[in-house]
Amino acid sequence: MSLTEIADFAETIAREAGELIRRERDGDRLKTNYKQNTELVTHADVMADRKITAAIRERYPDHRILSEETAPNRELADDLDTPLWIIDPIDGTVNYAYGHPQVAVSVAYADQGHVRVGVVHAPFSDETFRAVRGDSATLNRHPIRHSGATDPRQSLFATGFPYGKDNLAPLLQRLDTMIHHCRDLRRIGSAALDICWVACGRLDAYYESVSPWDFAAARLIALEAGARAGHFSPVPEGQPEDLWGQDILIAAPGVYDAILGLLAEE
């Protein structure tokens, strides 16, 4: 079982899930609900999640699965010897429900706590980002590279905000600092696409606190496109850095250290 074979499989199931969620939205069958009373979820989220996880279980029955909708409660540091799939069936659910095109299916494969394969498929723009650790990152099979930005003041960055609004003050303070030191902000609404856009140079930097399924695949894609990735707060001992989503920063190498300093100050 080579990583290329796993990547081919991941791309296939991501594209199939993408077709499913396109049909569900285009067919006016969209049904919505809420998780924890605040986070929007659609029937298509669950359908796509089940489709992806069923395909993985059929082909790799001994592997573990961490998925946003059907298997979200795994301790990431447990059983690192067993391969792990990290799935987000619809990253950008609010965009999806409102008819915006910035929506992605994210599929990552990890082993020994390290992400080895990442696929992010945007079905409404028909863009598929893909990477294998140690190999180049691609967009629709063409190599991609970060922007090469060197000046934070000329840099375009992206971030996002949690569904819960009880602790926004520090996030807004951090945002204020970034806006005053960078060119501008883009609020895209999909962490996976934010990071992939850093990978292909449409953005220069991205920071946020998110769940593993939001960023695991895209982070590898950005790294293989030459971007830098890390955290502006400590990663707890024993936690796989590839899957720790608190205070992540992904940026072009030439602005990474400067932006890290800005974020770490707040």
**C-alpha–C-alpha distance, residues 176 and 167, integer Å:** 15
Residue 8 assigned ligand-binding role:
no
Q: Which long-range contacts (CB under 8 A, 24 or more apart) does 128-131 make?
A: 128/11, 128/14, 128/15, 129/196, 129/199, 129/200, 129/218, 129/221, 130/7, 130/10, 130/11, 130/221, 131/220, 131/221, 131/223, 131/224, 131/225
Residue 90 assigned ligand-binding role:
yes
Residue 257 assigned ligand-binding role:
no
**C-alpha–C-alpha distance, residues 246 and 4, integer Å:** 29
158 forms beta bridges with 186, 206
Residue 241 assigned ligand-binding role:
no
Residue 176 assigned ligand-binding role:
no
Q: Where are the beta strands (DSSP E) in 30-159?
A: 32-35, 39-42, 64-67, 84-91, 104-111, 114-122, 127-132, 137-139, 142-143, 156-158
Q: Which residues are annotated as a binding site?
A: 68, 88, 90-91, 214
Q: Which residues are annotated as a binding site for Mg(2+)?
A: 68, 88, 90-91, 214
